[in-house]
């Protein structure tokens, strides 16, 4: 199985203990399996039937697995909220608002994907799949940004943008400042 994203592992502590985690474009579950093992309720969505089939052990353990094409079909989670919404190596701008709206109060958005400049080092190289400078900041404008990076990584060579942002609990701004441990 592929190694989980270091970004996701670094910010996993922001997910409420035992919370629900939606993994968008989850693939074969490189994040779902370890998050489930850590006691989170995992929900995964992907359009690839082969990837979904590899999630059988999670489904048997109570995980919710949804096979859906979120690019050419409806958002299967309309009206639902999750303690964490996780997206890695995936970008479909038409779904960004749905993804952010799915973060519950007190929940976290963990998003990491390719950025402009990546076309100079490999794939993806189409502008449709590369974030513009600061684009994730704009997408998460209704959330409190805990961490944001936009730059180049050497191994493997790639340009990325990533964000960890929380949806503050209603009224929390009037109380003591939230402590989002770094």
DSSP annotation string for 87-150: EES---GGGHHHHHHTEEEEEEEEEEEEBTTGGGTSS--SGGGSBPTTHHHHHTTTSEEEEEEE
Each residue's pLDDT tens digit, 86-119: 999 999 999 999 999 999 999 999 999 999 999 9
- Please determine, looking at this structure, whether the domain spanning 6-174 carries the CATH number 3.90.1150.10: no
Q: Kindly report the pTM of this predicted structure.
A: 0.94
For the chain, give every domain's residue range. 6-174
Cα(121)–Cα(130) distance, integer angstroms: 13
Q: Is the pLDDT of residue 6 over 60?
A: yes
- Confidence band for 176, pLDDT divided at 50, 70 and 90: low
Cα(63)–Cα(122) distance, integer angstroms: 34
Phi, psi for 20 (deg, rounded to 5): -90, 135
């Amino acid at each position: 199985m592929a190694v989980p994203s270091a970004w996701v592992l670094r910010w996993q502590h922001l997910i409420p203990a035992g919370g629900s985690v939606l993994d968008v474009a989850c693939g074969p579950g490189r994040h779902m399996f370890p998050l489930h093992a850590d006691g989170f309720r995992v929900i995964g969505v992907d359009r690839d039937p082969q990837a979904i089939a590899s999630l059988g052990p999670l489904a048997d353990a109570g995980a919710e697995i949804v096979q859906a094409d979120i690019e050419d079909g409806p958002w299967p989670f309309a009206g639902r909220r999750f303690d964490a919404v996780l997206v890695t190596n995936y970008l479909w701008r038409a779904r960004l608002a749905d993804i952010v709206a799915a973060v519950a109060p007190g929940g976290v958005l963990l998003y990491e994907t390719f950025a402009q400049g990546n076309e100079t080092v490999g794939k993806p190289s189409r502008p449709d799949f590369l974030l513009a400078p600061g684009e994730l900041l704009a997408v998460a404008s209704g959330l409190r940004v805990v961490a944001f990076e936009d730059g180049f990584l050497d191994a493997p060579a790639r340009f990325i943008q990533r964000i960890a942002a929380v949806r503050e609990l209603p009224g929390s701004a009037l109380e003591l400042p939230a402590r989002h441990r770094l």
